Amino acid sequence: MLEIRNLNARVEGADILRNLSLSIKPGEVHAIMGPNGSGKSTLGNVLTGRPGYEVTSGEVLFNGKDLLSQEIEERAREGLFLAFQYPVEIPGVTNMEFLKASVDARRKHLGLPDLSSFDFMKLARETSKRVSLDAAFLKRGVNEGFSGGEKKRNEIMQMMLLEPSLCILDETDSGLDIDALQVVAGGVNAMRDDKRSFIIVTHYQRLLDYIVPDHVHVLAGGRIVKSGGKELALELEAKGYSWLEDEVA
Amino acid sequence: MTDFQTTDFQQRALTLAGQQQSPAWLAALRFEGSEQWLNADWPGRRTELWKYTPLQALQKSTSAGWSSALPQGAGSAALLTIDAIRLVFVNGVFDAKASTANHDSVVRFSNANDAQRSLIEKHLGRIVDTKRHLFASLSNAWVQDGVLVHVPRNVVLEKPVYVVHVSTPEAEPVIANQRLLIVLEDNSQAELIEHFASDARTQNSFVNALTEVSIAANSSLQHYRINLEQEAQIHIGGVHIDLQRDSRYSGFTIAEGSALKRIDYQINHRGNGAYASLNGVYLPRNNQLVDYHTNVEHWAPHCTTSEIFRGIIGDSARAVFNGRILIHPDAQKTLAELSNRNLLTSDKAEVDTKPELEIYADDVKCAHGATVSQLDQTAMYYLQSRGVSKTQARTMLSFGFINELLQDLPQPAVRDYLQHHLTVLFGMDTGTGLS
């Protein structure tokens, strides 16, 4: 599914990722944890091709194809999805317009016929219900005036509509109350199957009570310093990150 | 130094103005206008009010030059679908067939009764300051017919007034004079939609359109001015508004560009507690020009102004925005905000924006700002990260930038019409409905 080999990346002249390697197989859920500034968000940004994130060396294969040479939108159409830590507000463009344009693009890439406006609106309304977002949000500007929790649920709704093969959740749990957290986790768990993979980037162990990962990695100083099973998350919860950072140093 | 050609335009226009038939009681205004028009210094590059907007497009090179229109049928412009009191003019000539039946509150000057006539005499040409607005004096010199909307005390006009000006190409390029006078008495309310349209053919007329608005105490007017003519259309327009105590004016204006398109708004807060909001959109493309000059003057205390203009300038087009708010010494406790944002979608596009705030009172809250920028890169990335192509993302963001001002328009017929127009203009109809 995803092969990251010796990835080095910099942002605004600073080296953030250093020789990062990671292999994800279909159906796996990987949690990436780590202290602030460890490069957790950078990974998602680099994989999706965010402008300003420069890959200096290394390679990434997604479904066997070179990912880093693809345009941002090509990666998305191929099935890569990033739930943003800070979803962007786009006033004047309705959520419905935005979702329809996204789904149209993905379906076209997969060789599927366009959904009619009627069918799409029906699907969008059903999906918004699944993430407990009132259908009125579909008519509002993209994320415009949404609360933090509503923005995150909107991200999960997009994920459900686009049915990506690799989903990266970038601190989707940050700032959420327990109800919203359960909605997010419920969305992920409902989508888990033996083909779809997830990278859950989180600062807190709490989310992993609801989304049980197959692998947990600790990122510090731009590289993976420790990997383990789900029990590693509990260890981190108890001991914090400093003992690992000391190991790196 | 005056330019021989353009002085020639002044002469030619005056000759045509003199040929217009009009009621005798308008003769004094016409005479006054003629004098001012002929004696006015023709604007050049050093004339501050016309600095970025040359008038060369008025110098038609055809041997006959400008002429005035003959009565003719309606053109094929796409109009609003709305239940309204509708008056249609084609190249300045009233088209009875395309208009709705007579209405007590909405009459043409030529049909005015004595009471209406005295209202017209009292206000027409008196709200606009002709010393500052050259083409208003031509309008006065020319005034032969026009529309009076008169809403008496305590009356809420039951339907919107929809005044349509259609341009169609003529064998000789014509000058069409459009004149509108709105008089709202105390505690009254009305909605007015002015729509300047043309068919798709290459236009060759010059529309000189002047609207004067008097809003008495505690009255309110909702006003739309839509300028979506074909790009060869020349348009010089002015909207001049006097607001009395506790009255309200809410205006929205949109213009696509043309060889020469200049629209002036003058808003005078004359009574305590008046409120004015004016939002506008300009969308010049190709080699077009749009020039908005707005001037809001606070003469009285406790008045509020909110003004937002946004423009998208593409290709080799040019936009001019000059937004001035002037707070006179007596206008304490004024609240005034002016914002102008511009998106340039090409390297050759140009905007000259100048927000001006002049404050002579000491207890006021005012803010103004102007920005010129490209599309938001983070929003571009967000859209692309969902599979939307770069081109489509640009289109969506451009649309959104303008739609922010359209989506809250209170009149659904105008909102739907403009949103549809924009989706077509931006080539982004995805069929989910926008409202």
B394 vs A contacts (CB less than 8 Å) = none
Q: What does the pLDDT look like over A159-172, one tens digit per residue?
A: 999 999 999 999 99
* pLDDT of B59 above 80: no
> Could you count the other beta carbons within 10 Å of the beta carbon of residue A240?
11
Q: Which residue has the higher pLDDT, B62 or A172?
A: A172
Nearest by CB to A120, which of B383, B401, B432?
Answer: B432
* pLDDT of B389 above 80: yes
Q: What does the pLDDT look like over A55-102, one tens digit per residue?
A: 999 999 999 999 999 999 999 999 999 999 999 999 999 999 999 999
Which is it for strands B350-359 and B318-327: parallel, antiparallel or unpaired? Answer: parallel
**pLDDT band for position B287 (50/70/90)?**
very high
Query: Nearest CA of chain B to the CA of A229: how many Å?
Result: 30
φ, ψ (nearest 5 deg) of residue B203: -85, 155
| DSSP letter for each residue of A94-150 | EHHHHHHHHHHHHHHHTTPPPPPHHHHHHHHHHHHHHTT--GGGGTSEETTT--HHH
φ, ψ (nearest 5 deg) of residue A4: -105, 125
Nearest by CB to A101, which of B378, B385, B388?
Answer: B388
- The reported pLDDT for the residue numbered B7 is 66
- The reported pLDDT for the residue numbered B82 is 95
**pLDDT band for position A54 (50/70/90)?**
very high
A72 vs B contacts (CB less than 8 Å) = 381, 384-385
CA-nearest residue of chain A to B390?
Answer: A73
- The reported pLDDT for the residue numbered A247 is 63
Domain locations along chain B: 3-271, 378-435
Q: What does the pLDDT look like over A148-160, one tens digit per residue?
A: 999 999 999 999 9
- Containing A11, the helix (H) or strand (E) segment is strand A2-11
What is the average per-residue pLDDT within B251-256? 97
Q: What does the pLDDT look like over B109-120, one tens digit per residue?
A: 999 999 999 999
- The reported pLDDT for the residue numbered A233 is 87
Query: Nearest CA of chain B to the CA of A83: how many Å?
Result: 10
Q: Return the SS3 of A34.
A: coil
Q: How many CB pairs under 8 A join A and B?
A: 96
CA distances from residue B65 to B35, B42, B61, B140, B173 in whole angstroms, order as listed: 22, 18, 7, 21, 7
Residue/partner pairs of B50-57 with CB below 8 Å, 24 or more apart: B52/B291, B52/B318, B52/B320, B52/B352, B53/B260, B53/B262, B53/B289, B53/B291, B53/B320, B55/B6, B55/B9, B55/B260, B57/B234, B57/B259, B57/B260
Nearest by CB to B385, which of A76, A100, A120?
Answer: A76
**Could you tell me what percent of chain B has a pLDDT over 70?**
94
- The reported pLDDT for the residue numbered B74 is 60
φ, ψ (nearest 5 deg) of residue B227: -120, 90
Cβ of B387 within 8 Å of Cβ of A162? The answer is yes
- The reported pLDDT for the residue numbered B3 is 47
Spatial separation of the C-alpha atoms in residues A206 and A176, rounded to whole Å: 11
Cβ of B404 within 8 Å of Cβ of A91? The answer is yes
* pLDDT of B159 above 70: yes
* pLDDT of A248 above 80: no
- The reported pLDDT for the residue numbered B418 is 96
- The reported pLDDT for the residue numbered B35 is 92
Query: Nearest CA of chain A to the CA of B181: how many Å?
Result: 34
Nearest by CB to B430, which of A72, A90, A100?
Answer: A100
Tell me the average pLDDT of chain B. 91
CA-nearest residue of chain A to B378?
Answer: A88
What is the average per-residue pLDDT within B33-58? 86
Q: Which residue has the higher pLDDT, B156 or A206?
A: B156
Angle at A167 between CA A162 and CA A171, to 5 degrees: 120
Spatial separation of the C-alpha atoms in residues A84 and A93, rounded to whole Å: 18
Name the residue among A207, A98, A211, A109 with its Cα closest to residue A157: A98
* pLDDT of A212 above 70: yes
What is the average per-residue pLDDT within A210-215? 94
Are the C-beta atoms of A18 and A46 separated by less than 8 Å?
Answer: no
Query: Nearest CA of chain A to the CA of B339: how many Å?
Result: 16
Which is it for strands A2-11 and A14-24: parallel, antiparallel or unpaired? Answer: antiparallel
Spatial separation of the C-alpha atoms in residues B246 and B184, rounded to whole Å: 13
What is the average per-residue pLDDT within B301-323? 97
Cβ of B432 within 8 Å of Cβ of A91? The answer is no
Structure tokens at A44: 């998602």
Cβ of A162 within 8 Å of Cβ of B433? The answer is no
CA-nearest residue of chain B to A73?
Answer: B387
* pLDDT of A173 above 70: yes
What is the average per-residue pLDDT within B190-217? 94
- The reported pLDDT for the residue numbered B1 is 43
Cβ of B400 within 8 Å of Cβ of A93? The answer is yes
Are the C-beta atoms of B205 and B172 separated by less than 8 Å?
Answer: no
CA-nearest residue of chain A to B407?
Answer: A92
Q: Which residue has the higher pLDDT, B429 or A146?
A: A146
* pLDDT of B309 above 70: yes
**pLDDT band for position B411 (50/70/90)?**
very high
> Could you count the other beta carbons within 10 Å of the beta carbon of residue B88?
23
Spatial separation of the C-alpha atoms in residues A221 and A248, rounded to whole Å: 8
A88 vs B contacts (CB less than 8 Å) = 378-379, 381-382
Name the residue among B261, B351, B267 with its Cα closest to residue B315: B351
End-to-end CA distance of chain A: 32
Cβ of B382 within 8 Å of Cβ of A162? The answer is no
Interface test with B, best of A98, A151, A155 (most B CBs within 10 A): A98
Cβ of B404 within 8 Å of Cβ of A84? The answer is no
CA-nearest residue of chain B to A116?
Answer: B431
- The reported pLDDT for the residue numbered A228 is 92
- The reported pLDDT for the residue numbered A35 is 84
Nearest by CB to A101, which of B385, B390, B396?
Answer: B396
Longest dimension (CA), chain A: 58
**Could you tell me what percent of chain B has a pLDDT over 90?**
73
* pLDDT of B222 above 70: yes
In terms of residues, how long is chain B? 435
Bridge partners (DSSP) listed for residue B179: B210
What is the average per-residue pLDDT within B90-105? 90
CB proximity list for B63: less than 8 A, separation 6 or greater: none
Q: Which residue has the higher pLDDT, B101 or B180?
A: B180
Cβ of A101 within 8 Å of Cβ of B383? The answer is yes
CA-nearest residue of chain A to B406?
Answer: A92
Secondary structure of A217-235 as H, E, C letters: EEEECCEEEEEECCHHHHH
CA-nearest residue of chain A to B403?
Answer: A92
Q: What does the pLDDT look like over B3-29, one tens digit per residue?
A: 444 568 888 888 888 888 888 899 999
φ, ψ (nearest 5 deg) of residue B193: -120, 120
What is the average per-residue pLDDT within A208-228? 92
Structure tokens at B236: 């010089």
CB proximity list for A219: less than 8 A, separation 6 or greater: A20, A32, A33, A34, A38, A39, A40, A43, A225
**pLDDT band for position A174 (50/70/90)?**
confident
